[in-house]
Amino acid sequence: MSFFSTIRSLASAFLQRGQVNREMEDELRSHLQHRADDLQRAGISRTEAERRARLEFGGFEKFREEAREALGGRFVETLFQDIRFSVRSLRRTPGLTVFVIVTLALGIGMVSGTFSMVDALIFRPYPVPHPSGIVTLVSTTHDSSFDDFSYREYLDLRDKTQSYAGVIANSDMKAVGFSADASSTPRVTGGMMVSGNYLHVLGVEPQLGRNFRLEEDQVPGRDAVVVLSPEFWRREFGGDPAVINRHVRLNGVEFTVIGVAPEKFPGMQIFDRPDFYIPLAMAPVFSTDLQKNFFEDRDDRELNVKARLKPGATLQQAQNEIAVLAKNFESEYPKANLGRGAAVHTQFEMRTRVDDANWKFTVIFVVLALAVLLVACTNVAGLLLSRGRARAREIAIRLSIGAGRSRLIRLLMTESLILASLGGLGGVAIGYAFVEWFHTFDQVVLMTDLPLALPFRMDTRVLLASLALAMLSAVLCGLAPALQSTRVDLASGIKSAEVDVPGRKRMWGRNVLVVAQVSTSLMLLTAAFLMVRGFQRDLQVGTNFQKDHLLMTTFDPRLVQYNPTQTRQFYKLLTERLREAPGVQGDALMQNIPLGTDHFDGLAFVPDGLQLPRDRENFSSTMDTVDEGYFNTMAIPILGGRGFLQSDTAEAPRVAVVNEQFAKHYWPGQNAVGQHIRLDSRDGALVEIVGVAETIKNENAADFPADFIYLPLAQHPIARLTLMVRSSGDPVQLVQTVKEAVRTLDPNLPMIDTRAYEEYYRNQAVESPKIAMKMVGAMGLVGLLMAVAGLYGLIAYNVSRRTHEIGIRMALGADRSEVLRLVMGKGLVLVGIGTALGLAMGFAVERLMNSMLFDAGGVDALAYVVVVPTLFVVTMLAAYIPARRASRIAPTEALRYE
């Protein structure tokens, strides 16, 4: 019989069980009447005929049952029986049932909550058709394996490769000044420059209007067209279809709306939600680096390049091809490309890159969540095992009156599946609550005017994964107990509930559970402890600059189409005026603020006179461009030499300030002041180090001290700058002062992300990591509670099972302390083994976390000093309480104990 007809017959049997049964009854009755008719014809009375027909038919019930089985639908019916039976028996022990469900729910909830993050950060495919064909092309150097490409390089990649159906490029999401018409003040929005074929190659067709045309990306500055994101379209234009062909102003330039992207395409990035897309050819309106020519300079690397593999082309072919291309770049353009390679990566590879903090956190969270689930499963397995024991008598009776072992195992598995389903549902609810809880921090985490989103959500993928996990845990923690409790010796099983003569094999499973639980929860706690304490330690170290009494706000004069001279003039006047304003103690301009969300630029340089290794063109360090007020305003001590001065103008000799870490790194034991570096390469511009500043935390609060170099703004003009104003009073009160000063200079220039720096710092550097700490802490706590409960249950159960044995021992003259020692010794050995294993795992996790998150401090002894004794005390109590009770029972009673 084919598979499908089985299914059909099962389904119809299931759906029309009543009808089928009725029909069968009718048919059997019809048979009896036909037979009775025949008998009646032979001269027997109707009543007698019917009676005889029934007798001749044979065991009516038996055949009816057989017939029902032959009809199919037997499986479904037994399933229903099993479910009914399971529910009944689970309701007989409500406490245990609830405990198991809650335990499973917690375990699965942790994992499904975590998985909603993992999915968003790693597994969720690009929101485009056939996402697996999309690969990312990266430029590689000594210092970075994931560098961007320049426009020229992109054109070469597009035109000189054969492996792809299309090669596309996009810039980072940039702050763009948007106004619906010429008269209104521009607001900050997020725009992304994309190649003309971007949406087309991705397979994204606008829901309204049209896509970019290829010729719209050919001539710099000619085609001012824009495609809106669906959300921006709704928010800004109320979803009006007449938006097509309307004119809007972006950074002061008039653009024509040509299309609206489809709803299902929120963008290719994890967090960025661009408001609109603009062709790369319009780069002059949005470009960041004033010193470089976007269309010509091969080292102006601002573009993220992706491609869609041709059908049939393999990743390996693409790899080989791009390696050759990179070699050619190197020989053709040694100035820009020496020591630079290229590689092709899949989406998964890009999302699991080693230098990605998201990925690191994800790994840690997943490991911890799985550990919690493991503890939960061992708990449940232990409980089911004990329950199986307690039911040994019932099971023995069932077996002896002829129930098949497989049938009983199926019954017991149905029970665990019911438990797991309920636990899974609870887990999904907890996971959902977790995601909701996480979203309450959106405002804390995303402190910016740009359109960002945390894409964590409970969707079908997460839901299915969670339920699959629930089923898997049901099998894992239900199967072993089911197998074991159906393998009983019938005779002794019926006689007593105390079935097992504690054979080695029997005890083994339970001992493994105890050990697994102790070690896993120890590891969990160690991890939680380490993270929380490591983080606190990092905060205590301090940032080495003064965070209070600072007001921050960002300007981008390109939003109103200033040229470099106007930009310089604006900043000059603004800072001068503010310095004279009441309540202002000082101000400073900087490209990036310390501990902000933006990444610092990298600076390529060569310490002058240093012999470089042959394959190395230069070194690199993170950098910031700051004005002469920076070190004073941020209160960063200058340890040697000087900070920047007004005299460090564009015409003056070029200078730089490095941090102490940098100075020690490149000139150990010497004075860095007076040394020289060359920018970019050996024959680049000569720059003198004029000062050494204290090393401050720049990238994040849990930073290793890193090399850092400051360049004077006057010598490296930047358009988009953040202004910091040091106030004598509450910095927020200065907002009006700054607004006034800006208004007198240009009422159209928007102020971006205006807030007190201390508040920003607290959200960004303290509160956001604290969320992670809370999560880890919660997992650790849940793990500990479960481990404690489970441990107590297992050991207490083990001991209470030996009540009978204890009675015998005491009847034979053992005294109480001997019994206590006997019982507790066993527990101690198990906990000892568990602790040893747990410590080993804890050390492993500690190394992992140190290498990923915190500076490589030694072993955090406190974690172990707190955690290990806690577990010991719990175990001892768990063994002691039942042991004491057992040792107090009069021997006569213990011997009768069942």
Partner 1 sequence: MTDQAQLLPGTLDLLILRAVSLGALHGYGILLRIQQISGGALLIEQGALYPGLFRLVRQGLLKASWGTSENNRRAKFYELTAAGRKRLRQETDTWNRLATAIASALAAQPEEV
Pairing of strands 187-194, 164-179: antiparallel
Q: Are 840 and 521 in contact (CB under 8 A)?
A: no
Q: From residue 662, give the alpha-carbon distance in Å to each of 134, 229, 655.
A: 40, 44, 15
Q: How many CA atoms lie within 13 A of 31 on its CB side?
A: 13
* Minimal distance, residue 21 CB to partner 1, in Å: 12
CA–chain centroid gap for 414, Å, is 33
Beta bridge partners of 756: 551
Interface residues for partner 1 in 527-566 (CB under 8 A)? none
Q: From residue 98, give the alpha-carbon distance in Å to each of 92, 417, 419, 693, 885.
A: 11, 14, 9, 61, 26
* Minimal distance, residue 519 CB to partner 1, in Å: 53
Binding mask 28-47 toward partner 1 (x if CB under 8 A, else -) reads: x-xx-xxx-x----------
Residue count at the site for partner 1 (CB under 8 A)?
Answer: 27
* Minimal distance, residue 404 CB to partner 1, in Å: 20
* Minimal distance, residue 127 CB to partner 1, in Å: 46
- Picking from 369, 351, 339, 277, the residue whose alpha carbon sits closest to that of residue 122 is 351
- Note whether 1 binds partner 1 by CB under 8 A: yes
Q: Which is nearer to partner 1, 23 or 48 (CB)?
A: 23
Q: Which is nearer to partner 1, 23 or 855 (CB)?
A: 23
Of 27, 254, 489, 730, the one binding partner 1 by CB under 8 A: 27
**End-to-end C-alpha distance for the chain, whole angstroms:** 51
Q: Which is nearer to partner 1, 37 or 254 (CB)?
A: 37
Q: Which is nearer to partner 1, 31 or 682 (CB)?
A: 31
* Minimal distance, residue 528 CB to partner 1, in Å: 58
Q: Which is nearer to partner 1, 67 or 732 (CB)?
A: 67
Cα separation, 622 vs 594, in Å, equals: 12
- CB under 8 A: which stretch of 19-27, 284-292, 497-505, 843-851 binds partner 1? 19-27
Cα separation, 618 vs 686, in Å, equals: 14
* Minimal distance, residue 125 CB to partner 1, in Å: 43
* Minimal distance, residue 407 CB to partner 1, in Å: 20
Q: Are 147 and 409 in contact (CB under 8 A)?
A: no
Per-position b or e across 135-161, b if 16+ CB within 10 A of its CB:
bbbbbebeeeebebbbbbbbbbbbeeb
DSSP state of 338: T
Burial (0-12, 13-18, 19+ Cβ within 10 Å), 596: buried
Q: Which is nearer to partner 1, 1 or 242 (CB)?
A: 1
Q: Which is nearer to partner 1, 66 or 893 (CB)?
A: 66
* Minimal distance, residue 57 CB to partner 1, in Å: 5
* Minimal distance, residue 16 CB to partner 1, in Å: 14
Binding mask 50-89 toward partner 1 (x if CB under 8 A, else -) reads: ------xxxxx-xx--xx-xxxx-----------------
- Note whether 25 binds partner 1 by CB under 8 A: no
Q: Which is nearer to partner 1, 9 or 850 (CB)?
A: 9
Q: Which is nearer to partner 1, 12 or 632 (CB)?
A: 12
Q: Are 185 and 747 in contact (CB under 8 A)?
A: yes
H helices of 263-312, in order, are 283-286
- DSSP code string of 165-185: EEEEEEEEEEEEEEESSTTSP
- Picking from 286, 282, 281, the residue whose alpha carbon sits closest to that of residue 218 is 281
Q: Are 801 and 868 in contact (CB under 8 A)?
A: no
- Note whether 22 binds partner 1 by CB under 8 A: no
Q: Which is nearer to partner 1, 2 or 565 (CB)?
A: 2
Cα separation, 829 vs 814, in Å, equals: 22
* Minimal distance, residue 406 CB to partner 1, in Å: 22
- CB under 8 A: which stretch of 24-32, 172-180, 513-521, 865-873 binds partner 1? 24-32
Q: Which is nearer to partner 1, 60 or 508 (CB)?
A: 60
- CB under 8 A: which stretch of 25-33, 164-172, 315-323, 819-827 binds partner 1? 25-33
- Binding stretches for partner 1 (CB under 8 A): 1, 5, 9, 23-24, 26-28, 30-31, 33-35, 37, 56-60, 62-63, 66-67, 69-72
